[in-house]
Amino acid sequence: MKEKLIDLFEYTYHFNREMIKVIAGNLEKIDEKTISLINHILNAQQVWNSRILNEKSFEVWQIHPFDDLDEINQQNFEKSIEIIEESDLDKEIAYQNSRGTKFENTIFEMLFQAINHSTYHRGQINSQLKQKGIDPILTDYIFYKR
């Protein structure tokens, strides 16, 4: 299971990086919503990692300097892999969401949420790119594996 989860984080890291490249190459056409979404993708993964590790987290809609996004993506990836390799994925973690509501989920569920969440928002970014006349990138998992 851990190997499959690592593979999914490699996929997530790869297409986050590709999305950042496409946005960087078209910054003059990119609107605030797209910038907000790419930041949100990275923030959310950092937030889930931080909940698991009981560390300080970003705000979910925090905007970072664009030049920092590649580094944040790299740090998120490394931290997620470290969690996978060193944790019992069935362990339940208690945490609070951004509204202060308390929940409890397994580490696996929290990590899978980070992956699924980023996939969803990359789709939204692709839609935004297309509306701006920018060719969207094929981010489906199967294209990554081919």
| Residue spans of alpha helices (H) in the chain | 2-25, 32-53, 69-86, 107-131, 141-145
Question: What is the C-alpha separation between 31 and 27, in angstroms, rounded?
Answer: 8
How many other C-beta atoms can be found within 10 angstroms of the C-beta atom of residue 75?
A: 15
Residue 121 annotated as binding site: yes
Residue 145: partners with Cβ closer than 8 Å, 6 or more residues away: none
Question: What is the C-alpha separation between 88 and 129, in angstroms, rounded?
Answer: 39
Residue 117 annotated as binding site: yes
The packing angle between helices 107-131 and 32-53, to 10°, is 170
How many other C-beta atoms can be found within 10 angstroms of the C-beta atom of residue 118?
A: 26
Residues β-bridged to residue 106: 92
Binding site as annotated, residues for a divalent metal cation: 40, 117, 121
Binding site as annotated, residues: 40, 117, 121
